[in-house]
């Protein structure tokens, strides 16, 4: 079957490259992916793939139904394969002949590659429907970069009718060489929370600070003291980050400002640590404010949950990858990542699932979100082969 898969992938080699270049040229930011959505729809239609209308303007749900007889227990499973389709508000500097024609917008995170890979995998699967049973749902998801797209698409009911038993996605990784993939079972990508703290004091003349109360000094103290939560209150083996990334206050060199606001993000992997950091952040800021004769208004938003890769599904995906790439090309990552990914919402609803890293790292890798990043065409067939092999492993006759 492995040779069969590569034969099939060889047939769409040119197609997958052309598809990526088209998507790259038509880069669009989250919830604005109109040309990209039209392209995906027309490609699926040409391939004869069923689509289900969604209550959002961008993004596509495609459905492929296997025609083989299911020999396993119960109903044949439904698998979801997800690709994010949005670009970033970055001015492109790749110099590629197919560079973005939309000024100030480019595919700097490689979602053009993800989209092309899923389109090509869909074509191969549609052509080989007799090789598997069950259902494959194709999730072309908008607005991953804003971290709102997955939840919006899930709200459209894409995980129902038939219910999805397992979900898989990939993301390019520049730390992984082209030709290889990397997996990580368990908590893989961090949750992403947002906090804002407003220190409210009493504004006064810079020459007479004792007549007011200094919100700026209270905020400065908070910026430093918040790090003590991680240093002194979270066990050293736990992974957590708290970063204050904004501070706003003051308009003149001789006025002690009345209000100063700080804002930042918290990244970690467990609900307990998340709650603890939230509680301690509020308590520390409130007490610092009091000690500076100020008030603190804390606003903590639980954002995206962590990505938790299912152990068994990750192993199955790794096996599929080993089948088509060889064991030496499948890397087990040593550490999780502190970044976030809205595929977390899929995994929250369908715990049997995994996201893996597809190697896109060349000799001198350029980081994701850099204006010079360009998803390497050579990595595309690798992603297609792994997706197809995974489906056949799970649903094949
Ligand atoms: Zn990104
Ligand atoms: Zn991305």
Residues 321-332 have pLDDT tens digits of 999 999 999 999
Cα 104 to ligand 1 centre (Å): 15
Q: What percent of the chain is predicted at pLDDT more than 70?
A: 99
> How many whole angstroms separate alpha carbon 359 and alpha carbon 330?
10
The CATH topology of domain 194-304 is Alpha-Beta Plaits (3.30.70)
Predicted local distance difference test score (pLDDT) of residue 364: 85
Q: Where are the alpha helices (DSSP H) in 90-243?
A: 111-127, 149-155, 215-225, 227-233
284 contact partners, CB below 8 Å, separation of at least 6: 222, 225, 226, 228, 229
Neighbours of 104 (CB within 10 A): 12
Q: What are phi and psi of 30, to 5 degrees?
A: -50, 135
Q: Answer for the pair 249, 263: CB distance below 8 angstroms, yes or no.
A: no
In terms of Cα–Cα distance, which of 136, 191, 120 is closest to 343? 191
Residue 282 pLDDT exceeds 90: yes
> How many whole angstroms separate alpha carbon 388 and alpha carbon 193?
35
Residue 147 pLDDT exceeds 90: no
Question: Which tokens is 341 given?
Answer: 């990914």
Predicted local distance difference test score (pLDDT) of residue 363: 86
Cα 107 to ligand 1 centre (Å): 9
Cα 135 to ligand 2 centre (Å): 26
Tell me the three state secondary structure of residue 375.
coil
Cα 369 to ligand 1 centre (Å): 6
Predicted local distance difference test score (pLDDT) of residue 191: 97
Predicted local distance difference test score (pLDDT) of residue 361: 95
Cα 357 to ligand 1 centre (Å): 13
| Average pLDDT taken over every residue of the chain | 97
Residue position matching structure tokens 């929250």:
348
Rg of the Cα atoms in the chain = 24
Q: What percent of the chain is predicted at pLDDT more than 90?
A: 97
ω into residue 32 within 30 of 0, thus cis? no
pLDDT in tens, 228-278: 999 999 999 999 999 999 999 999 999 999 999 999 999 999 999 999 999
In terms of Cα–Cα distance, which of 243, 238, 300 is closest to 270? 238
Q: Answer for the pair 185, 352: CB distance below 8 angstroms, yes or no.
A: no
pLDDT in tens, 288-317: 999 999 999 999 999 999 999 999 999 999
Put residue 203 in one of left, alpha, beta given phi > 0 → left and psi -120 to 50 → alpha: beta
Same fold, 2-189+306-395 and 194-304: no
pLDDT in tens, 12-44: 999 999 999 999 999 999 999 999 999 999 999
Sign of CA pseudo-dihedral 24, 59, 194, 199: positive
Predicted local distance difference test score (pLDDT) of residue 1: 63
> How many whole angstroms separate alpha carbon 170 and alpha carbon 118?
10
Cα 125 to ligand 2 centre (Å): 24
The DSSP output letter for 213 is: B
pLDDT in tens, 106-122: 999 999 999 999 999 99
Q: Answer for the pair 29, 131: CB distance below 8 angstroms, yes or no.
A: no
Question: Which tokens is 68 given?
Answer: 């083989």
- End-to-end Cα, the chain, rounded Å: 11
pLDDT in tens, 89-103: 999 999 999 999 999
Instruction: Sketch the domain layout of the chain as residue ranges.
Output: 2-189+306-395, 194-304
Cα 145 to ligand 2 centre (Å): 6
Q: What are phi and psi of 126, to 5 degrees?
A: -60, -40
Tell me the three state secondary structure of residue 364.
coil
The CATH topology of domain 2-189+306-395 is Aminopeptidase (3.40.630)
> How many whole angstroms separate alpha carbon 253 and alpha carbon 382?
58
Cα 206 to ligand 2 centre (Å): 47
Q: How confident is the model at residue 167 (pLDDT cuts 50, 70, 90)?
A: very high
């Amino acid at each position: 079957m492995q040779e069969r898969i590569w034969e099939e992938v060889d047939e769409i080699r040119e197609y997958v490259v052309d598809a990526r270049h088209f998507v790259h040229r038509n880069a669009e930011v989250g919830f604005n992916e109109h040309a990209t959505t039209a392209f995906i729809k027309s490609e699926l239609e040409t391939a004869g793939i069923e689509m289900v209308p969604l209550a959002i303007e961008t993004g596509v749900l495609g459905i492929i139904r296997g025609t083989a007889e299911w020999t396993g227990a119960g109903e044949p499973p439904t698998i979801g394969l997800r690709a994010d389709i949005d670009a970033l508000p970055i001015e492109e500097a790749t110099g590629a002949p197919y560079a973005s024609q939309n000024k100030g917008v480019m595919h700097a995170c490689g979602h053009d590659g993800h989209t092309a890979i899923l389109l090509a995998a869909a074509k191969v699967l549609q052509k080989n429907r007799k090789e598997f049973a069950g259902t494959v749902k194709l999730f072309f998801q908008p607005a991953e970069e804003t971290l709102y797209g997955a939840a919006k698409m899930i709200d459209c009911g894409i995980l129902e009718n038939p219910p999805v038993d397992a979900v898989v996605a990939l993301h390019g990784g520049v730390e992984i060489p082209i030709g290889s993939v990397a997996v990580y079972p368990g908590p893989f990508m961090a949750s992403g929370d947002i906090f804002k703290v407003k220190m409210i004091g009493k504004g006064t003349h810079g020459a007479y600070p004792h007549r007011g109360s200094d919100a700026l000094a209270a905020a400065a103290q908070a910026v430093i003291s918040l790090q003590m939560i991680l240093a002194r209150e979270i066990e050293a083996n736990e992974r957590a980050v708290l970063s204050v990334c904004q501070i706003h206050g003051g308009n003149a060199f001789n006025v002690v400002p009345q209000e100063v606001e700080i804002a930042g993000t918290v990244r970690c992997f467990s609900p307990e640590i998340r709650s603890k950091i939230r509680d301690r952040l509020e308590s520390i800021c409130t007490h610092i404010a009091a000690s500076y004769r100020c008030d603190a208004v804390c606003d903590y938003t639980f954002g995206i949950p962590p990505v938790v890769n299912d152990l068994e599904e990750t192993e199955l995906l790794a096996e599929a990858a080993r089948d088509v790439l060889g064991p030496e090309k499948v890397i087990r990552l040593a550490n999780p990542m502190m970044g976030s990914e809205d595929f977390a919402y899929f995994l929250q609803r369908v715990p049997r699932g995994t996201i893996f890293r597809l190697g896109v790292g060349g000799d001198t890798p350029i980081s994701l979100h850099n204006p010079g990043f360009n998803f390497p065409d050579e990595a595309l067939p690798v992603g297609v082969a792994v997706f197809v092999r995974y489906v056949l492993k799970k649903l094949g006759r």
